Amino acid sequence: MNDPDHPVNLSRRHVLKTGAAAALGIPFLNSVNFSHAAGDESRSNTFTPGQAKAVIEIWMWGGPSHLDTFDPKPGAGPDYCGPYNEVVKTVADGMVINSKLPLMAKQADKFSLIRSMTHGVNAHETASYLMQTGRSPGDGQVYPCIGSVVSKFKGYDAGYKGLLPPYIVLTQPHGRFSEEGFLGPKYKPFATGGDPSRNPFTVQGVIAQGITDARQQSRRDLLHSLDTLGKANTNTRDFKKLDECEEKAYSMILGDARKVFDLSSEPAALRDKYGRNSFGQSCLMARKLVENGVKYITLNYKGWDTHKMHFNLMNQKLPQMDQAIATLFEDLAGRGLLDSTIVWCSGEFGRTPKVLWNEPWKGGRGHFGACFSSLVGGGGFVGGHVVGASDEKGMEVADRPVYPQDFLGSIYEKLGINPEGTLPNGRGEHVPITIPTQGKGRLKEIM
């Protein structure tokens, strides 16, 4: 698809490399001019072959507190940090994180933190949409989330022929504000359902309990011999499509795909290390999916909307998160997969730095979109760095604001998807993949 000798590609790469456009503060305008000059929409979407081949997204639905995870503020006092007044030094120079995350601290050379994420929106759905699409809602079209965009450029459209769908959500779907939007159902994620910590992991539609292969096969034959309408009306496009879908479905039900979902083949010690809980085993599952060619995996990690009894909940969740994410980085690196796999981890926003001690919250934190933290590592992102900073109480961005489109654009770039390329919006128009930023743009510091 990508023609490295094409002059347009060369010139765009040149611009990006020199950072000339970004330095001028008009990266978007410049690139648009380039693609228009080229007069060839299809070429404008991929550029330098990216280092990254796959993405694991850990989506902390509900919005985790930045102060209690990656941006601790022990100096701000108990009104801000509650009982969490201890930090742990990481293996990365100068980076400290909440002391409840000691295992992640040991892997900190493999990821970087962005402590100056901002979009200012405090409503779950709009904030999620912003973080997933890099756009504000309301301009009359619904944009695809990053997973669908990656699925488009790295999945079937790019000749993907894997055993499994190119875009998978473990385990529950995300919700409408972070799906395929105008790209259409082809780019929807496959949500597995089930629970990878159970045996077997009953993947929706792929693995059903108590039905043998022989029975699957004999039922399939029965279905075909009773397909009277299909046989009476053979010449319809819909029916042909349906038959193709059935082929694909059966290749997952009866083929090798389900072996991928079988975690019992993994060493027990490794499974223990990830944590024998849904999130831990989902992380292990995600690694297996990457190994098997899946392009984009979202772990929908719920339970971060902690308005009440915040610290009790964090005491339960942080050790689980620490164990699983640390092991994921270690495991990916150990298998040589980290160089080609981006792992990112974020909620839609952070939580109010000031603790709400009063009834009815009893030590809760509200929604906070002004300043929060995200994590990114692998796939060519440099580890061990901190990008940007919040002020001493985590209330505002103190340095280097990073907007959702900057963050997503950086991931696209590492995948070899041109963030300034375009998407067909289903009305015959091509819209830019990312919009211009108010900030300093993509994360050059760690790229």
Partner 1 sequence: MIISDSLGFCRQSTGLPVVTVILTLALGSLGAETIEKKTEKNDGQAKAVVAKPQVPPAAPLVVPYESDQAPVPATRIDQLVQSVLKKQGITPARTCSDEVFIRRVFLDVIGTLPKQREVVYFINSNDPGKRAKLIDVLMARDEFTDYWTLKWCDLLRVKSEFPVNLWPNGVQAYHRWIRDAVKENRPYDVFARQLLTSSGSNFREPAVNFYRAVQGTDPEAIGEMVALTFMGVRTEHWSENTRKEFGTFFSRVAYKKTVEWKEEIVYLDPEANTPLNAVFPDRKKITIPAGDDPRVAFADWLITPENPWFTQSISNRVWYWLMGRGIIHEPDDVRPNNPVSNPGLLTYLQGELVKSNYDLKHLFRLILNSQTYQQSCIPRSKHPYAAAYFGHYHMRRLDAEVLVDALNGFGNTTEKYWSPIPEPFTFIPEDKRTITLSDGSITSQFLEMFGRPSRDKGYESERETNPTEFQRLYMLNSTEIHARIYKSPVLKQILAQTRNDKPATVRMVYLSILSRRPTPQEAAVALKYFNGPGKKSGSTGAVYDLAWALLNTKEFLYKH
The residues binding partner 1 (CB under 8 A) are 123-126, 129, 137-142, 165, 172-173, 175-177, 179, 184-186, 188, 190-191, 193-194, 202, 204-209, 211, 214-216, 218-219, 222-223, 225-230, 232-233, 235-236, 238-239, 241-242, 245-246, 248-250, 252-253, 427
- Counting DSSP H helices and E strands in the chain, the numbers are 15, 16
Q: Which one, 166 or 383, has the nearer CB to partner 1?
A: 166
State the residue for tokens 């009982």: 83
Q: Which one, 45 or 151, has the nearer CB to partner 1?
A: 151
Q: Which one, 139 or 359, has the nearer CB to partner 1?
A: 139
| Cα dihedral 353→355→360→362 (10° resolution) | 140
Q: Which one, 235 or 358, has the nearer CB to partner 1?
A: 235
Q: Which one, 199 or 204, has the nearer CB to partner 1?
A: 204
Q: Which one, 18 or 233, has the nearer CB to partner 1?
A: 233
* C-beta of residue 65 within 8 angstroms of C-beta of residue 351: yes
Q: Which one, 196 or 378, has the nearer CB to partner 1?
A: 196
Q: Is the dihedral of CA 394, 395, 399, 402 positive or negative?
A: positive
Phi-psi bin for 244: left (phi > 0), alpha (psi -120 to 50), beta? alpha
N-term to C-term CA, the chain? 24
CB of 60 to partner 1, least distance (A): 15
* Interatomic CA distance for residues 329 and 249, integer angstroms: 32
Strand ranges inside 312-387, DSSP E: 341-346, 350-351, 367-368, 372-377, 386-387
Q: Which one, 160 or 239, has the nearer CB to partner 1?
A: 239
Q: Which one, 191 or 398, has the nearer CB to partner 1?
A: 191
Structure tokens at 29: 């305008």
CB of 251 to partner 1, least distance (A): 9
* C-beta of residue 174 within 8 angstroms of C-beta of residue 58: no
Tell me whether residue 162 is exposed, middle or buried, using C-beta atoms within 10 angstroms of its C-beta: 0 to 12, 13 to 18, 19 or more: middle
CB of 406 to partner 1, least distance (A): 23
Tell me whether residue 436 is exposed, middle or buried, using C-beta atoms within 10 angstroms of its C-beta: 0 to 12, 13 to 18, 19 or more: middle
CB of 83 to partner 1, least distance (A): 26
CB of 361 to partner 1, least distance (A): 13
Q: What is the DSSP string of 117-172?
A: E-----SHHHHHHHHHHSS-S-SSS-PPPHHHHHHHHHSGGGT---SS-SEEEESS
Q: Which one, 103 or 253, has the nearer CB to partner 1?
A: 253
Q: Are strands 350-351 and 96-98 parallel, antiparallel or unpaired?
A: unpaired
**Radius of gyration for the alpha carbons in the chain, expressed in angstroms and rounded:** 23
CB of 56 to partner 1, least distance (A): 21
CB of 220 to partner 1, least distance (A): 8
* Helix-helix angle 27-38:7-18, to 10 degrees: 170
